[in-house]
Structure 1
Amino acid sequence: MDRLTIEHWRNAPRLTCLAAFFETTASGQGGAPDLAQPQLDMSLLDFDLEVSVFSDTHRRLWGPFDSHYFASIPYRLEEECRLGAAILSFASRAWARSASPTTIYTLGTGTGCLARTLATLGNGRIEALCCSPTAANRTSFFAKRASEHAHFFHGPFFELDDERYATDDDLLPFRGGFDVLLEDTTFQMYDRDRLKQLEFVVPRIRPGGLLVQVQKLAHEDRDIYEERERQKDEVFKSRFFSTGHISKKKDEVLNTMTDLQVDLATTVAALRAFFRYSVLTWNSGNFYTIVSSNSRSSVLELISLMVKPAIPPGYCHERLPATIVDTEVEALAPDLTWRSANTMVPLAPKLGIMK
């Protein structure tokens, strides 16, 4: 990557005007929900056994920043557990085929709770890396590391370059690249140029590997964007944060981040430059999960391991899964399907499963 781009990212909001907010929140000195703590709603996940097992470990490994994060994005907690359970199954299948660990990089995921959960449940079948420039996130990571297969890099994503991988012994498991790279609402804090950002990270994805992104997207109709924001703040976040807390965060953080968001069309154009396939697998207001790969079989396998999106209809504005990048010769769309929930009937008697 050229020097000017790196310098631009180094002076981006995440490392300058937003740095104090993230440090304060990650250390538990501010930003925490002041009305209630977020709780996983298993009914939205049809009381699925695999998600329940994943979520139990996931909740035990939260750090201070996680409660803030999951109380801020509608049903993001359910999505992380749904996605995490699918990635765990994906890695388990890979181990059965090759007896080699799956390498996973969660780029910009705060305390690295997802990475630590996957490493813990993978028990040697997964090597997981996360990065954050926030010192308090590093403290949280190692306070509940839970597995020697969970690794942390203290710094922004763009410092993990080829030289760093080649010379840092702590990064030895990842020198060959990643089978799954998850970018979580991070690019939008550094720049609007998604092509440059993808150009930096995509070469680290192994052949057959996957890019998973959780993105907050702009909308061509500003009124629609703002209406979704009002729903997020007034209907969802108001369960966890007082009005004053919501207003303060909007002034301190969200207005800055909005300037660096891009819309779906821009996102698709950037992804198309690197991938044959991209699929929307989740939508909550202005937030989306996007799975991309050059391997048709890898995309189909991961999505087939996901239960249906755990989101009330009023928050979801897409028919999912939705292919946004595809090929004509080997089209992906006709074969996309969710798995059925492995429902724990005693915990969900009202579902009438045994009738």
Structure 2
Amino acid sequence: MTLQFYCSDRDTQIFYIKKVLKEDGIILFKEKLLIPDQEQYQRNEDNKDKLFKSLYFSEEVIESKRLNALVKGKGLGVGQVDFETCVTAIKKHFKFVYLIWNCGNFYELAASDNELMISKFLEILPPPYMPDPFSTEKDLPRQL
């Protein structure tokens, strides 16, 4: 998930990562992504703050993070991209791309050039845990 703290140029970032990945390797991407429906994005953020973060943090801490973490130009706001941009960049560099998990605005994707290796990986994955108020995807994993 650190890619979004550096810049939004997923193509260059993934190009570099692929150079150091073994030929039959699998890479996992976990990203907080923008989605076209801004109201849904905000509902996802509100659910996360009210139903999850409130169990561990005070309202003051939650509000401080809300005001600072996603501000354009700092924190996650430096390089957060939308779902399509992320998937397009991954697919440019890898033949097989799967969405394996989603919770609110967070997505986990698996990618590889080796169909057998990624198939074996997907076979041993347990069912994804996504509590109802946070999940927007139901049929996972799925190929993109």
Task: State the TM-score, normalized to the length of structure 1.
Answer: 0.38
Pairing partner for 1:213 from 29, 36, 61: 29
1:314 and 2:133 equivalent? yes
Please tell me whether Structure 1 or Structure 2 has the larger radius of gyration of its CA atoms. Answer: 1
Deviation at 1:259, TM superposition (A): 4.6
Aligned residues between the structures: 140
Q: Deviations over 1:308-329 (max 9, x none)?
A: 01221221111211211xxxxx
Instruction: Decide whether the 8 Å contact of 2:70 with 2:77 is kept in 1.
Output: yes
1:202 and 2:18 equivalent? yes
After superposition, the CA RMSD in angstroms is 1.2
1:279 and 2:98 equivalent? yes
How far apart are the structure 2 equivalents of 1:224 and 1:260?
A: 20
1:226 and 2:42 equivalent? yes
Identical aligned residues as a percent: 30
Deviation at 1:258, TM superposition (A): 2.9
Gaps of 5+ in 1: 1-184, 325-355
How far apart are the structure 2 equivalents of 1:230 and 1:298?
A: 38
How far apart are the structure 2 equivalents of 1:221 and 1:258?
A: 17
**Which letter maps to 2:141?**
P
What SS does the aligned partner of 1:288 have? Answer: strand
Q: Deviations over 1:258-308 (max 9, x none)?
A: 352111111111011110001011100000110000001111111111110
Q: Deviations over 1:158-198 (max 9, x none)?
A: xxxxxxxxxxxxxxxxxxxxxxxxxxx11101111100101
What SS does the aligned partner of 1:250 have? Answer: helix
How far apart are the structure 2 equivalents of 1:294 and 1:239?
A: 41
Pairing partner for 2:5 from 176, 184, 189: 189
Pairing partner for 1:236 from 39, 52, 57: 52
How far apart are the structure 1 equivalents of 2:77 and 2:39?
A: 14
How far apart are the structure 2 equivalents of 1:313 and 1:245?
A: 25
Higher relative contact order (CA 8 A, sep 6+): 2
Pairing partner for 1:288 from 95, 107, 121: 107
Partner residue in 2 for 1:323: 143
How far apart are the structure 2 equivalents of 1:279 and 1:273?
A: 14
Pairing of 1:1-355 with structure 2 (within 5 A): 185-255=1-71, 256=74, 257-318=76-137, 319-324=139-144
